Structure 1
Amino acid sequence: MANVIITGTSRGIGFEMAQLFANEGHRVLALSRNALTIARLKHENIDVLSFDITKKKDLDLVEDYLNANWKTVDILVNNAGKLLNKPFLETGANEFEAVYQVNVFGVAHLTKLVLPKMPKNGHVVTISSMGGVQGSMKFPGLSAYSSSKGAVITLTELWAEEFKETGPSFNVLALGAVQTEMLEEAFPGYKAPVTALDMAQYIKDFALHGHKMYNGKLLQVSNSTP
């Protein structure tokens, strides 16, 4: 059974994914700013930390937890994300930076913390968006969000190259429309053809097995526009 860290587990895909891993017997460390929703499950295979990926003190808490409880981390799913849907000329510098603090810098800091505990056959899966894929359809108001999601695609490629001899493997999934609260914020009224549970199942399976076939790859997981 794997030791799995998942960020952004308070709702949507992350919430469903934590349960799927745990129900299969894997040990899950669920990280989110609002830890109450998943803590209420009282699942024997899920440990929960209230966690803000932009705060050093919270990163230190994760490091302390791992040193005390886990010798290895088999899977890291960088799922947490911050959305801003606002015209570019109306977006303040602090707002733009706040998106990058979560979607790029936070991902980098947590990955750096976890890497020393990951074996050669470990797997880091980062969740991006179709909006971050070069040449894909783009939408007004998502300058900060989509560009940040493009950044983690390139980061993933760089990490895979840098650690290709020692592992772990790194891959990034660019998701299309999934029926979540975040989608409703970005595209009010749009109904996605994929549920959060559907996508969580796909990501869980990919996190467990995808590194056997892929490393440093972007996979577009979308059957719709957006």
Structure 2
Amino acid sequence: MKKVIITGTSRGIGYEMAKQFAHNDFQVLALSRNQKPLEDLALKNITAISVDVCNDNDLQKVTSFVEEEWKEVDIIIHNAGFLIHKPFTELTKDDFQRVYDVNVFGVASLTQLMIPFLKKGSHVVTISSMGGIQGSLKFPGLAAYSSAKGAVITLSELLAEEYKEQGIAFNVLAIGAVQTEMLEEAFPGYQAPLSAAEMANYIFNFATTGNQYYNGKVLQVSSSTP
């Protein structure tokens, strides 16, 4: 069975992805601060661990698990996200730090730890946002979040170049509006055209096949604005 690590799995797209991969005969390591929603499903292919991607001690739990149980990883999906919606003049340095910790530094830290376990043909997919795309329509109140999503795009492009000789692919999906709790935080009352389960299905297909066609690329996955 192939092995996938997914972050941000307690709700929304991450939760749906964990189920999707498990039902398609993947071994799933699901990382979230709240592991209970997936534990309650009792799916034998899913191991849910309580992990804060900003906490180095928590991330060591991931390394220990992979070393002892898996030895290798086929796919990583960096899905965990954190959003603060505030006017720019009200954002504090701490606000920026918290947003970047999850959306950028957490991605970098987990990737660093997993590099030794990524074999030729592995695929690392980072879930970004249309708000992080240069030239895309931007929205007030999302200065910290959208700039972080832009930063992680550049990080992925660099890693694709750095690890191309090892056969590890790094790609980004910059997604648009999906009906999730985070969307409601950013755009209260807005009805998105896609459900979390529908987007999870798209990401599953891309994560399992996209590295045959793409490396170091950013795909815009959006049918609406926002």
Report the TM-score range of the alignment, normalised by the length of the smaller protein. over 0.9
Show the 5 A alignment for 1:20-39. Answer: 20-39=20-39
Q: Give the counterpart letter for 1:91 in structure 2.
A: L
TM-superposed deviation, 1:115: 1.2
Q: Does residue 155 of structure 1 match 2:116?
A: no
Q: Percent identity?
A: 61
Q: TM-score, normalised by structure 2?
A: 0.99
Show the 5 A alignment for 1:63-74. Answer: 63-74=63-74
Q: CA RMSD in A?
A: 0.5
Q: Give the counterpart letter for 2:6 in structure 1.
A: I
Length, aligned pairs only: 226
CA distance in 1, matches of 2:220, 2:152: 14
CA distance in 1, matches of 2:113, 2:4: 14
- Per-residue CA distance 1:183-216 (angstroms, 9 max, x = gap): 0000000000000000000001100000000000
Q: TM-score, normalised by structure 1?
A: 0.99
SS in 1 for 2:83: coil
CA distance in 1, matches of 2:191, 2:14: 19
CA distance in 1, matches of 2:167, 2:109: 18
SS in 2 for 1:49: strand
Q: Give the counterpart letter for 2:152 in structure 1.
A: V
CA distance in 1, matches of 2:207, 2:159: 16
Q: Does residue 192 of structure 1 match 2:187?
A: no
TM-superposed deviation, 1:137: 0.2
- Per-residue CA distance 1:54-99 (angstroms, 9 max, x = gap): 1011011111111110111000000000001001110111111100
Where has structure 1 moved over 6 Å in runs of 4 or more? none
Q: Does residue 129 of structure 1 match 2:129?
A: yes
Show the 5 A alignment for 1:137-148. Answer: 137-148=137-148
TM-superposed deviation, 1:167: 2.2
CA distance in 2, matches of 1:17, 1:120: 23
Show the 5 A alignment for 1:26-65. Answer: 26-65=26-65
TM-superposed deviation, 1:149: 0.2
CA distance in 2, matches of 1:116, 1:68: 14
Show the 5 A alignment for 1:194-209. Answer: 194-209=194-209
Q: Give the counterpart letter for 1:112 in structure 2.
A: Q
Q: Which moved more, 1:161-170 or 1:173-182?
A: 161-170
Q: Give the counterpart letter for 1:17 in structure 2.
A: M
Task: Provide the residue aligned with 1:177 in structure 2.
Answer: 177
Task: Provide the residue aligned with 1:81 in structure 2.
Answer: 81
Q: Give the counterpart letter for 2:149 in structure 1.
A: K
